[in-house]
Amino acid sequence: MNVSINRVIDQDANLKVWLSDQEFLFSRLRAHDASAFKMLYQKYAAAIYGSIIRQVSDEEKAKSILAQTFCDVWQSFANYDETKLQIFTWINQLAVQNIKKATV
């Protein structure tokens, strides 16, 4: 696991908290930071779309499912627990749920 420690949050003059890039991104996402969400989308959307299009051969439906999946990510990120699932796996699980809803 490659973790770089490079973020410092100075909450108090005597207390500094070091966060990894991932922890910093996740804290920004939990605060509904739009630029953090854009970074997450740019990093994972293509791979998630690839997973969706393999299961749904309709390109427009796949795009709609991708959009719904990332709306779900935005709305429910506070519920994401990084100790249980990697972020890609969690997003992909949301996509699978949306595929099932769209194909019923």
pTM, entire model: 0.80
pLDDT band at 104 (very low <50, low <70, confident <90, very high): confident
Rounded Cα–Cα distance for residues 56 and 86 (Å): 24
pLDDT band at 2 (very low <50, low <70, confident <90, very high): very low
pLDDT of residue 7: 52
Whether the per-residue pLDDT at 5 is higher than 50: the answer is no
- Helices and strands (H, E) in the chain, number of each type: 4, 2
Q: Six-digit token pair at 68? A: 């719904």
Instruction: Tell me the average pLDDT across 3-28.
Output: 67
Proportion of the chain above pLDDT 70, given as a percent:
82
Q: How many residues does the chain have?
A: 104
pLDDT of residue 38: 97
| pLDDT (tens digit per residue) in 40-78 | 999 999 999 999 999 998 999 999 999 999 999 999 999
Show the domains of the chain with their CATH numbers.
32-102 (1.10.1740.10)
